[in-house]
Structure 1
Amino acid sequence: MSIHTTDQGWVLETATTGYALGLNAAGLLTHRYWGRRLTSPDDYPPAPNPLAWASFNSAAQSTPEEYPGYAGETFIDPCIKVTFADGVRDVVLRFESAEQRDGDQPELRIILRDTAYPLRVTLHYRVHHAHDLIERWATATNEGDAPISIERMLSAEWHLPPGSGYRLSHLTGRWADEMNLRREPLVQGLKVLESRRINTSHHHSPWFAIDRGAADEDSGQVWFGALAWSGNWKIVAEVTDFDTTRVKIGLNDWDFAWRLGAGEQFVTPSSFAGYSDAGFGKASRSFHDLVRAQLLPHGDAVRQVLYNSWEATLFDVDERSQVELARLAAEMGVELFVMDDGWFHGRTSDRAGLGDWWPDAVKFPSGLSPLIAQVNALGMQFGLWVEPEMVNPDSELYRAHPDWVIHFPTRARTEGRNQLILNVARQDVQGYLIDTIDRLLTEHNIAFIKWDMNRSVSEPGWPDAPGDQREIWVRYVQGLYHIWGTLRARHPQVIWQSCSGGGARADLGILRLADQIWASDNTEPTARLQIQEGFSQVFPASTMESWVTDMGPEYLPLSFRFHVSMCGSLGVGGHLVHWGAARRAEAAGLIALYKAIRHIVHQGDMYRLRSPHDHAFSAVQYVSKDKAEGVLFAFRTHIPRPANLPPIYLRGLDPDARYEVEGFAGARSGRAWMEAGLTLELADFGSTARRITEALRD
């Protein structure tokens, strides 16, 4: 049983962790414990009853409430704040009842109710036992006749054990420089990470990990979590003056309001969180397993080797140029050919065409079908790039519906990349995009869609909104999910990729719809090492599309470029005509190697052995779930000479089994490879991929 009810409250247990909550003497729903699973449900500590410090600091301020509202003398950052119809601007929630639902994903529901108003708040706790994760979200229900204005409603508050000295890990960045891993001490006050851009953003990721300052990949206690949402979000890490630390996560309340009408409900996105007693690596693998087992539309299937023609032809696409590239790609062993931007009506540059999603009659006078047929005849599937949320002012769609974009009537409409954002919160816009993309997929044999979004929001207005205009931040994402979800239901065979100028829409929410994420527009291999390590904190390798391109210094060998991209879902984006026969032949050999190992990379466990954030000599390893095989990738960028590379200590092997590592004579025990390690020789900007195979048992 994963959920236990005791005299002290409730205990949620996963395979190795425990989470406890209960009512304290004041009747408040409080946090009791989060950490390693204890022997018995009765072992978990009781709900705390802290004392007041002074008239300035009541007991409520030190009480670790599971879902605190803005009320009374708490003076902490709350999870929920509302305004009732009579102008009262706080919410006083008290426990009413609890419900438990068993099954494959057990769920505990705690019902709280305001003491004076018809507002019910339900806290949901779902246990993902095998993945050592707990999923939390909240539902607000207006049971009265008058509307309630929600000003803040987060998904969850996660409490750390009492004490100080915690360290926060998070991801920062910018366009072409995403997913930089940062670690910094948490001190008294609020540390805020957020997006206000209507998408997840390049600049921060809705993920956190907290340790006591000394955890590493393989050891130490780590508390971690992420939000499954593709719009504005917020993480607040709060350290009080009473040695308590808490992390709130959910929808960003900046410029947010929601009119909750009579009988209506508002549901927050899910927050997933867990505890690791074996460092950051185990925390990441928990997320990887969850994503592959429960979120991805096509599960843990291996991904095809892809070629994308963008860097070869840019906007100058036509049937002849694409077929020429497709023939070369097929000879190399590519399985999926993707035509990028430039194929649709009026699209000769980034100044026109967005919104008009039908083949350009000049470039493709017979439509796309002849091209697709030739690609299929070469033994490859066909994919296409689209950017449905955007519109160019120079387009048939905008000329017909200028009111469909996000805008303020009295302000100039700021263009980014010469485009405006369609308001997909509108039902008419949703209908247009569903019908248009559905027709495209129905009339053509398209197996893959790269869905892009190349700007952040400006003038976030909705003049004829049905309620408060500030609801646009949530309704936009809900509309996006509706469009994408409807198309997925109609075309379940299609593989979708989430792209937003690179990694600006990388989150657990979009992975319920997309099987892949484009991590960054930066394909320079040495830069990708850090981007990919940051990406791996949350997402498995199978979701990370990674191209081999012509971007990067000439002195980087083709093998280095391929090895970097092999650490994810391999794609190729260079100009194949310019590569020449010798380079294409070398690429074919590397693609064949990747096909032999990709099931390990996509479906196995990942171990970050040496961080490219910290070292010019880095390494990452993948091990199959049955521990029978693995693959080691190692990379050296620039290290001044003379230099001796340090040993690499493998991970994840069966210590009692014997393994052979490619390039090393003889078999050794898994324990020997992990404890004694191995030494590689690499020159500057050298790399290697070494297969690891369990030796035959006697």
Structure 2
Amino acid sequence: MAILFDAEKKIFKLDTASSSYVFAVHDSGRLLHLYYGAYLPDCDMRYLLDRGYFGSFTPDAAGYVGKEFSPDTQPSEYSCNGTGDFRISALQIRNADGNIATDIRYVSHRILNEKPALPGMPSLRDENGDSETLEITTLDQTTNAEVKLYYTVYNDLPVMTRHAVVTNTSDRTMELERVFSACLDFNTMDYDMVHLYGKWAKERTVTERPLCHGIQSIQSKRGSSSHNHNPFVALKAHGATEENGEVYGVNLIYSGNFSIEAEVDCLNATRLLAGINPTDFTWRLEPNESFTAPEAVMVYTDRGLGEMSRIFHRTYMKHLIKSPWRDVERPVLINSWEAAYFDFDDNKLVAFAHEAAKMGVDMLVMDDGWFGHRKNDDSSLGDWYVNEKKLKGGLSSLIERVNAEGLKFGIWYEPEMISPDSDLYRAHPDWCLHVPNRENSPARLQYVLDMTRKDVRDNIFAQMYKVLSENKIDYVKWDFNRNLTEVGSALLPPERQKEVMHRFVLGTYDLMDRFVKAFPNILFENCSGGGGRFDAGMLYYSPQIWCSDNTDAIERLTIQFGTSMCYPISSFGAHVAARPRTSLKTRGNVAMCGTFGYELDPRKLTDDEKAEVKQQIADYRKYHCLVREGDFYRLVSPTENDFYCAWEFVSPDKQEAMMTAVVMRQPETRYCVQRLRGLDPKTYYQDEETGTVYSGAMLMNAGLNLTRDVYEDGTSVTKHFKAVK
């Protein structure tokens, strides 16, 4: 059993493949956290609860006599606000009397041999019976707010998920003001907080800082997970590295406003919360109504940040991504955006396809500009019908011509957006997000549709369904090119307007779910001005996400390294673009760390470049299984080394490996030796290019001499090894 309950001591113990999680039911009925870390055979750690007594400023627990306990100092399993715990709280409910005092106590529990789905939201799946779930029922006896806490552990991976469901079992209305998905209390502050920050075209740069007293947080209130921060945080022990040391990783499966908060208190203890951002959020619960918080994924390892990442990668590949494209070779596509932007017609696209087919490309993607009367980005979003002045003969004719060249066909959409200059807006101006008597703020000359409304979603679904069902379309790029302002819905009453942000995300999930079920064989790629919505919620519906609008190979190093902290490499939309800063070889090597494709005009390539592209595509086909299924190792970080960065893939059976190094800046001295990781030290590996044979021990301890391979700005090298007897 992965989940155990000691009925006498009232202790729960949850074991994953290599970690243990322990908490107890206190005599007062409160749930108190005891331990999360490396696997333990025993579970009675109640001795850790003695944190001293601090007099009148640290109150005793209401309804409990005993000065050894105070909610202000005890580690809480799901902290509540207003009843003695002054630290950041996971739960705050404003009850019908108007106060926010919240206090939940244990009622009962169940151990389930299944993973419950979250209604209307993405979450990890368990289709093979690899998990157990603990359901804890608690109750605020004053307000009759019932809170169920869910913990799922997986037998095959050191990962655990958590979420909460709040139900109003009273006969009066209550309002949720804070409802986080996970609360973790640690008995130390000796951690560095690792997270991913950025902006458009510079997403997910890894940064870390030591925890300090007070509150530190990352969050988004943009209506999406955002370019600026990602819903991922790791707490790593001081001195922990890529391959050694304790690390706790937390990732929220959510695509909207989030907050991950850490507070270090006066006892040098740390509390970490992850969930929906409480800013601009309130959820009104009528009697018998329930609210489900998003799911948080938690990983513990004592083998460093690299192993934490590999655990996330394996988990998401096995239990999150479901598309039939997950386990097969993805098509090499060429996208029209950087090749033509809005300046294309059917003949130009067919010319792209003709040249691309000669080099082995599998698919042509027609990006923005094919619909309504769109000539630039100032019109027609929401009018999802073909502009036959641009595509003469219509979409079917274009697809037939592209297919005749031997290529599949893909298309771009931005379903959640509407242009003021569109037929849809003129017919339904109230269908965009707006607030009364206030002018809407345009961004990219567009507004945002009110995805909380079923009639809006039905209209967009019908328009897109017509195009997708009547044409042979193999791929959809789903874009989202601005954030949410003037967030109001015409159909919701005033007291529910602070629900719009979350309802918007649920509406988007609903629409995506309808499409992936209606068109299960279409390859969906998510996008938000590149990586503005690169999160686990989107991966539930699409197996890949456009990593960034920045296609410069050197800039991509930092972006892709940061993304790999949590997300599998096979989910990275990565293309070779016409960016002359680096060689075509280096651009190909960097794009190989992802889905691989092209973002250029193939007609402008020289004969030598076309030959090189053909070889790149052949290499992609040769190595795609290794990239998709292999363990990923960040060897040299581009944010920690001024010279070069390097990474490596190792097959699960350790019979194959591939290392890539890219020079960012020419060094003063060119001498460079790089050690590999993750190999079998007793196995011998042959360099595919030179034929040289090395033991795994030599490659990992003595390393490779790359001095003659990496020496000038923008140069790169890839080394491929296979096991030999």
Q: What TM-score comes out, normalization by structure 1 length?
A: 0.97
Deviation at 1:25, TM superposition (A): 4.0
The yes-or-no answer on 1:176 pairing with 2:177 is no
After superposition, the C-alpha distances for 1:514-535 in whole angstroms (9 at most, x for unaligned) are: 1111111111110000000000
- Equivalent in 76, 81, 97 of residue 92 of structure 2: 81
**Aligned residue number for residue 573 of structure 2:** 545
Asked if 2 retains the 8 angstrom alpha-carbon contact of 1:609 and 1:650, the reply is yes
Q: Percent identity?
A: 36
Asked if 1 retains the 8 angstrom alpha-carbon contact of 2:630 and 2:651, the reply is yes
- Equivalent in 149, 161, 174 of residue 175 of structure 2: 149
Deviation at 1:441, TM superposition (A): 1.1
Task: Supply the distance in 2 between the matched residues of 1:273 and 1:190 (Cα, whole angstroms).
Answer: 21
**Aligned residue number for residue 326 of structure 1:** 353
Assess, with a 3 A threshold, how the Cα gap between structure 1 residues 155 and 271 changes in structure 2: closer, same or farther: same
**Aligned residue number for residue 250 of structure 1:** 275
**Aligned residue number for residue 649 of structure 1:** 675
Deviation at 1:376, TM superposition (A): 2.0
**Aligned pairs for 1:377-388 within 5 A:** 377-388=404-415
One-letter amino acid of the structure 2 residue matched with residue 17 of structure 1:
S
**Aligned pairs for 1:288-687 within 5 A:** 288-298=313-323, 299-466=326-493, 468-553=496-581, 556-615=582-641, 616-645=643-672, 647-680=673-706, 681=708, 682-684=710-712, 685-687=714-716
Q: SS state of the match for residue 406, structure 1?
A: coil
After superposition, the C-alpha distances for 1:337-383 in whole angstroms (9 at most, x for unaligned) are: 11101111111111111110111021123211121122222332211
Deviation at 1:43, TM superposition (A): 6.2
Deviation at 1:543, TM superposition (A): 0.3
Task: Supply the distance in 2 between the matched residues of 1:440 and 1:143 (Cα, whole angstroms).
Answer: 46
Deviation at 1:98, TM superposition (A): 0.9
Deviates more, 1:477-486 or 1:4-13: 4-13
**Aligned residue number for residue 18 of structure 1:** 20
Deviation at 1:641, TM superposition (A): 2.9
Asked if 2 retains the 8 angstrom alpha-carbon contact of 1:20 and 1:33, the reply is yes
Asked if 1 retains the 8 angstrom alpha-carbon contact of 2:299 and 2:312, the reply is no
Task: Supply the distance in 2 between the matched residues of 1:623 and 1:688 (Cα, whole angstroms).
Answer: 17
After superposition, the C-alpha distances for 1:101-134 in whole angstroms (9 at most, x for unaligned) are: 1242210011110021221000000112322110
- Equivalent in 200, 204, 208 of residue 233 of structure 2: 208
**Aligned residue number for residue 32 of structure 2:** 30
**Aligned residue number for residue 691 of structure 1:** 720
The yes-or-no answer on 1:274 pairing with 2:299 is yes
Deviation at 1:47, TM superposition (A): 6.5
One-letter amino acid of the structure 2 residue matched with residue 3 of structure 1:
I
Asked if 1 retains the 8 angstrom alpha-carbon contact of 2:667 and 2:711, the reply is no
Task: Supply the distance in 2 between the matched residues of 1:677 and 1:94 (Cα, whole angstroms).
Answer: 57
Deviation at 1:663, TM superposition (A): 4.2
Deviation at 1:462, TM superposition (A): 1.6
Structure 2, unaligned stretches of length 5 or more? 60-69, 114-128
Q: SS state of the match for residue 217, structure 1?
A: coil
Deviation at 1:419, TM superposition (A): 0.3
Deviation at 1:142, TM superposition (A): 0.9
Q: SS state of the match for residue 60, structure 1?
A: coil
Asked if 2 retains the 8 angstrom alpha-carbon contact of 1:228 and 1:269, the reply is yes
Deviation at 1:45, TM superposition (A): 5.5
Task: Supply the distance in 2 between the matched residues of 1:431 and 1:63 (Cα, whole angstroms).
Answer: 49
Q: SS state of the match for residue 241, structure 2?
A: coil
After superposition, the C-alpha distances for 1:2-47 in whole angstroms (9 at most, x for unaligned) are: 1111234111111111111112344320111111101x24465566
Task: Supply the distance in 2 between the matched residues of 1:465 and 1:349 (Cα, whole angstroms).
Answer: 34
Deviation at 1:683, TM superposition (A): 2.0
Task: Supply the distance in 1 between the matched residues of 2:689 and 2:334 (Cα, whole angstroms).
Answer: 31
The yes-or-no answer on 1:67 pairing with 2:85 is no
Task: Supply the distance in 2 between the matched residues of 1:286 and 1:152 (Cα, whole angstroms).
Answer: 30
The yes-or-no answer on 1:115 pairing with 2:116 is no
Task: Supply the distance in 2 between the matched residues of 1:180 and 1:242 (Cα, whole angstroms).
Answer: 32
Q: SS state of the match for residue 565, structure 2?
A: coil
Work out the number of aligned pairs and report it: 691
One-letter amino acid of the structure 1 residue matched with residue 166 of structure 2:
A
One-letter amino acid of the structure 2 residue matched with residue 31 of structure 1:
H
Q: SS state of the match for residue 203, structure 2?
A: coil
Deviation at 1:210, TM superposition (A): 0.8
Q: What TM-score comes out, normalization by structure 2 length?
A: 0.93
Q: SS state of the match for residue 62, structure 1?
A: coil
